[in-house]
Amino acid sequence: MNNRTAMLKITAIGSLLFITSCSTSTNDAKPENSAQSPASAPSGQLTMSESPAQSGMDQDKILVSDLFYRDQIASGQSNAEYFEFVLDNSYPGTVNEVVARQCFKDGSTPTPYGVPDLNTLRADPNWTVPQTEITDIDLGVPPTGTTYIVKSESVFGVNQVHVTILDGRPYYFPDFCGL
């Protein structure tokens, strides 16, 4: 019989949950030399590959929480490091990097997304990316993946933010260049 257990260290701050460590064990013996491939995700990024005990929405809430958590950490770094973080975590094809980098050189910086209220996370399957001068995506078509809208509170007030989960990874849509 296969007995699997998973231990997660979860920290709650307000309505935000953070997974800070994860370990699994099983009673199935494996040879010491058996290789296990690590999840392919950027450093510090959480991905969900299998979790039969949780629904898709529960997994996506964890991914959204992780994205916002990493956004808060990155926003405390230099403006250049935060800018690179935003580019790396923007939905593929949404940013024309040449235009975005020029905006950054001209003094525009991304705004931190704040703390999401995960109780407001709702699917928004018909949402399309608004056209801006830095958008580099086929407009008028919803992004591929599962798109959500969530309220987020930052120093600038409460905003509604879209996040799309694509291939087990959360992405947001950039908000800088004065747009």
The per-residue pLDDT for range 71-118, each reduced to its tens digit, is 999 999 988 999 999 999 999 888 888 888 888 888 777 778 889 999
What mean pLDDT, rounded, does the chain reach? 73
What are residue 133's phi and psi, to 5 degrees? -70, -15
Tally of residues, the chain? 179
pTM summary value: 0.67
Examine the pLDDT at 26 and tell me if it is beyond 60: no
Give which of 130, 129, 74, 132 is closest to 103, Cα–Cα: 132
SS3 string, 16-59, reads EEEEEEEEEEECCCCCCCCCCCCCCCCCCCCCCCCCCCCCHHHH
The more confident residue out of 41 and 36 is 41
Q: What's residue 176's pLDDT?
A: 66
- Domain spans of the chain, in order of start: 4-21+54-172
Name residue 54's amino acid: Q
